[in-house]
């Protein structure tokens, strides 16, 4: 069920009130999501000695092969095992511990009307059973902070929506001693965040920076059709300065070779322009049992903001 990266050599810069390292649990739908959403933030916290686990809901078995160089019959025939191997490489690059929840990819239904989801897939599993499986992970790891997707899944993939649903319910139920007996001692995380990196303001900034450098922006067509949504932008509460770890993010993303074309749109914007134009990864604070520290006007810069800590061997409070 689990995979572990080599033990981190980074001493914790901050400890919780009990003197233990801070802990972060990222819940994702498929292998590669941990690298395309918040990976630089993950790498930053690992470098600070934070213990980071990723819970991956499915094996990505129905994911398309998006890299032309990997679009071969032998790859398609072994996609489930190959995606596990890709996840192991990304895990080691990021320095995380990784847990497979063990569900089967739902695929992305297309057409009008859309076809039904395949029998036995994650999008159709019993919700309470899936929540219990994630609660067991939460109780085993005891994270201070969790991250997942918003109610739309970040985009409306059935696995992303299901991932949101079980993450919110696990956050709410893991601390309840009467919920899910036999899955470990109750543990209540203190904060739950939604991934928020794919928002219009960020792409506007990247587009403008590309043009300022005399380069062709890969986002012009997309932005022409993307109407501003002030209500959505106002949901952003937290910006993590992670530019120093964008290169690690990119290495982890490239480890998912079936999913990422190194010559594609992901890498059309040079790394230095990414760092210059938008040096943060962004989140929405969705639930908090500690006083909120951020707002759209003055975003947080730390997922652990508001949580009582004390200096670790690295000396930062």
The pLDDT tens digits of the residues spanning 190-247 come to 999 999 999 999 999 999 999 999 999 999 999 999 999 999 999 999 999 999 999 9
User: Residue 160 annotated as binding?
Assistant: yes
Question: How many Cβ atoms are within 10 Å of 163's Cβ, its own excluded?
Answer: 30
Q: Residue 147 in contact with residue 38, Cβ under 8 Å?
A: yes
Euclidean distance between the first and the last CA atom of the chain, given in angstroms as a whole number:
34
DSSP class of residue 5?
P
Instruction: Give the DSSP H or E segment for 134.
Output: helix 127-141
- Give the per-residue pLDDT at 295: 72
d(CA 134, CA 183): 10
Question: Of 3.40.50.10320, 3.10.110.10, 2.30.42.10, 3.40.228.10, which CATH number belongs to 2-197+235-272+279-311?
Answer: 3.40.50.10320
Burial code (b: 16+ CB inside 10 Å, e: under 16) for 110-147 equals eeeeeeeeeeebbbbbeeeebbbbbbbbbbebbbbbbb
d(CA 188, CA 22): 14
User: Residue 250 annotated as binding?
Assistant: no
User: pLDDT tens-digit profile of 26-81?
Assistant: 999 999 999 999 999 999 999 999 999 999 999 999 999 999 999 999 999 999 99
Beta-bridge partner residues of 99: 2, 55
Retrieve residue 196's tokens.
């928020």
User: Residue 207 annotated as binding?
Assistant: no
């Amino acid at each position: 069920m689990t995979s572990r990266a080599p033990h981190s050599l980074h001493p914790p810069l901050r400890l919780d009130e009990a003197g233990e390292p801070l802990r972060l649990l990222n819940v994702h739908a498929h292998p590669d999501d941990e690298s395309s959403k918040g990976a630089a933030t993950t790498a930053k916290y690992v470098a600070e000695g934070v213990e980071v686990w990723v819970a991956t809901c499915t094996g990505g078995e129905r994911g398309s092969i998006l890299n032309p160089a990997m679009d071969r019959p032998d790859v398609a025939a072994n996609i489930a095992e190959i995606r596990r191997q890709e996840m192991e490489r990304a895990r080691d690059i990021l320095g995380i511990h990784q847990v497979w929840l063990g569900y089967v990819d739902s695929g992305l239904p297309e057409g009008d009307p859309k076809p039904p989801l395949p029998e036995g897939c994650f999008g159709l599993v019993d919700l309470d059973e899936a929540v219990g499986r994630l609660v067991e992970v939460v109780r085993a790891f005891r994270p201070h902070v969790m991250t997942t997707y918003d109610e739309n899944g970040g985009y409306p993939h059935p696995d992303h929506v299901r991932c949101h649903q079980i993450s919110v319910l696990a956050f709410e139920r893991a601390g309840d001693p009467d919920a899910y007996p036999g899955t470990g001692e109750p543990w209540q995380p203190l904060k739950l965040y939604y991934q928020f990196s794919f928002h219009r303001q960020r792409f506007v900034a990247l587009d403008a920076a590309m043009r300022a450098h005399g380069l062709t922006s890969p986002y012009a067509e997309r932005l022409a059709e993307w109407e501003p949504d002030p209500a959505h932008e106002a949901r952003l509460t937290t910006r993590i300065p992670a530019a120093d770890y964008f290169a690690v993010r990119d290495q982890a993303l490239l480890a998912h070779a079936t999913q990422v074309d190194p010559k594609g749109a992901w890498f059309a914007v040079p790394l230095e322009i990414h760092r210059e134009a938008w040096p943060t990864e962004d989140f929405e604070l969705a639930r908090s049992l500690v006083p909120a520290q951020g707002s759209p006007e003055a975003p947080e810069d730390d997922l652990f903001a508001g949580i009582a800590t004390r200096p670790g061997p690295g000396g930062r409070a």
